[in-house]
Amino acid sequence: MDWAAVIDMVAGFVVALAAAVGIHRVRGTTAVPAAWWAVAAGVALAADGWATVPEDGAEAALTCRRLGVVAIGLCPGMSLLGAKRPQHGVWQAIVASLAVVILLPAASAVLIRPGSPPDVHLVTRCLVGALLLLGWLNHAATHRAIPVAGLVIGQMLLARTFLPGGAGVVIRGDALDMVAAVLLASAAAAAAAWPGSPRRKAGGARERSAASSFATLVAPAWEAFRETFGAAWTLRVAERFDAAAREHGWPCHLGWRGCEAGQGGPPDWPRDARRTFVALLRRFVTTAWLERHGLPPRGAPSTADAGPHGTPD
């Protein structure tokens, strides 16, 4: 077994182990399937390194297998984009269908043109590049932006054969492939160990108003939600919360970095705002998750009773 295969195996094992840590971190959320897809991506990379290379048609076999690794590697990010209840379970079938569509050229090459590399259409090449870029953009502004960027760069190096203008074949022992594997392993380990958000300092005596108390109360859960689900769902939830705030006259605004609250507004507006905030997050997280992040949903309505502004579309 050559060094390239060993590096792929070790990198795949590290990615799968880091993803397993991620499963524990995101427990109680609809991001768990995305973490399982990441485990599958690591296993696929390790299996690619473990598998033997036939003497005849080696490049074609390697290219078909690499396309499978790339297809599964796109699934975690795609899974996260459909993480809202109740459709998050059905969405995984769509994610699997995407992987199958990307793998069709490899299946065609194996079954119809044995010994030939897969003929990946330009549309598929553009789709692979777009999904990789989308995965990076979703987490580019989070506290894990650096390791996520490393993961995406590593994926792009592995997938370069299937991007627009790619060579079309994979050669065992290519230096860029080994760099990609090392980068994926390092970035995955860093993402697993990277702190999700900076530690908060205890509030001073001035943070005693109902407005500031509300902003402080929701901050830990909001930061954890942002770091888990990325920009796509964070901005959508913030939009729905702000729509409810405008309708009911609450003096608060939910932004990327947290909630900004002022004075005035209807009596007991923090209680109503909290109920809406909890209802929005309950489409993605469980009661146990909310309690772990300092927001027990006592008195919060169910998502079905949240009203027109209680859930994100």
Three-state DSSP state, 260 = strand
| pLDDT (tens digit per residue) in 112-159 | 888 788 888 999 999 999 999 999 999 998 888 999 999 999 999 999
Confidence of residue 209 (pLDDT cuts 50, 70, 90): low
Mean pLDDT of 204-219: 68
Contact in structure between 221 and 234 (CB atoms under 8 Å): no
| pLDDT (tens digit per residue) in 250-263 | 888 999 988 888 77
pLDDT of residue 304: 34
Residue 175 has pLDDT above 90, yes or no: no
| pLDDT (tens digit per residue) in 160-173 | 999 998 877 777 77
| pLDDT (tens digit per residue) in 10-49 | 999 999 999 999 999 999 999 999 999 999 999 999 998 8
Contact in structure between 99 and 127 (CB atoms under 8 Å): no
Q: Where are the alpha helices (DSSP H) in the chain?
A: 3-25, 32-50, 58-73, 75-80, 88-111, 122-139, 145-159, 175-193, 210-248, 269-281, 287-292
pLDDT of residue 127: 94
Residue 178 has pLDDT above 80, yes or no: yes
| pLDDT (tens digit per residue) in 80-125 | 999 999 899 999 999 999 999 999 999 998 888 887 888 889 999 9
Burial class (CB in 10 A: 0-12, 13-18, 19+), 43: middle
pLDDT of residue 261: 80
Confidence of residue 53 (pLDDT cuts 50, 70, 90): low
pLDDT of residue 115: 79
Closest CA relative to residue 196, chosen from 81, 24, 33, 36: 24
- Percent of the chain scoring above 90 in pLDDT: 55
Q: What is the maximum span of the chain, computed from C-alpha positions, in angstroms?
A: 77
- Give the total residue count for the chain: 313
